[in-house]
Amino acid sequence: MKTVVALALLSLVCVEGWLFSEDAEWNDLKVTWGLNQVFSSTVFDSLPRTESDALADGWVDFSRGASCDGDFYRGSRYIKDNDPAVMLLFDKNGYIAGIQMGARKTDLSANVPAPQIMHMWNDDGDMFVITAYFIDPASVCTGRSDATFTLEGTGVGLYLQNGPNPEADYELIPRDEDNLATTLWTKGGCFYTMGQHYWYDTSADMDCEDFFPVFLLYNSGRLNGFGWNINADLNSPRYEHPAVDVLDMFFQDTPACFVQHAQRGLTTQHIYLDDSPSFNFC
């Protein structure tokens, strides 16, 4: 399996090399890692970063009647094909503000998500939802201008919502990898076309009920991606399901309990903030 992965990574670099461009540091928004970049429409899929582009691409409003600041998240929410694996948040002026993943309760076992990490999820009726913003959540309902969006690109920071109030309950992730040294983020494995993984407060003998549902991705010392994970086997072309024999490619000390979770069914999703994940060499 690892040999197949290594060979496929070389082809990804070749395909994407001529596509590389320079503008804002976070100049794209892509989701879902995979080996079949050439023939799969969901691998490294670029998502719309304006409300108008989303509408043109078949995304529909999924705010469920909530105003910009009328729910546990900020912004106008959009979904495509009724798939909550990716839900986009746009600011008042229609520019990308954040992203969510929803897990339908009917697809989850009891105590998933675990109580210890439930603060990262918000109850949204028929699903639990996890949320990240790319701009200060307090500014979403004011909105960015076209000039600001052109300058900043996808955003200026990664704000992980960790409670019901998006303007107060969040963790702002350091953009410089060096600034993680004083935090509980634990250095994981380097995986080409993903990046240098960081997991929150992990160890080989940890209890996987404590396993944090977000991981970070750094390349050349800078934050340019992150991802979700949940201890459930969820079905969507947007999701990834890592096999047991590749877990040590993501961790320096793989939690022993994680192997059992992967055997039962584990769901992850990589999210990239620039246009060239094939060049993510850590």
**pTM for this prediction:** 0.91
Domain parsing of the chain, residue ranges? 25-279
Amino acid identity of 239? Y
Question: Three-class SS string for 15-32?
Answer: HHHCCCCCCCCCCCCEEC
**pLDDT for position 264:** 85
What average pLDDT does the chain have?
Answer: 91
Distance of CA 179 to the CA centre of its chain: 20
Q: Tens digits of per-residue pLDDT, 116-175?
A: 999 999 999 999 999 999 999 999 999 999 999 999 999 999 999 999 999 999 999 999
Q: Tens digits of per-residue pLDDT, 35-85?
A: 766 556 789 999 999 999 999 999 999 999 999 999 999 999 999 999 999
d(CA 125, CA 50): 27
Percent of the chain with pLDDT over 90: 82
d(CA 158, CA 136): 9
- The span from the first CA to the last CA of the chain, in angstroms, equals 21
- For residues 28, 230, 268 and 2, what is the CA-based torsion angle, rounded to 10 degrees? 150
Whether the pLDDT of residue 1 is over 80: the answer is no
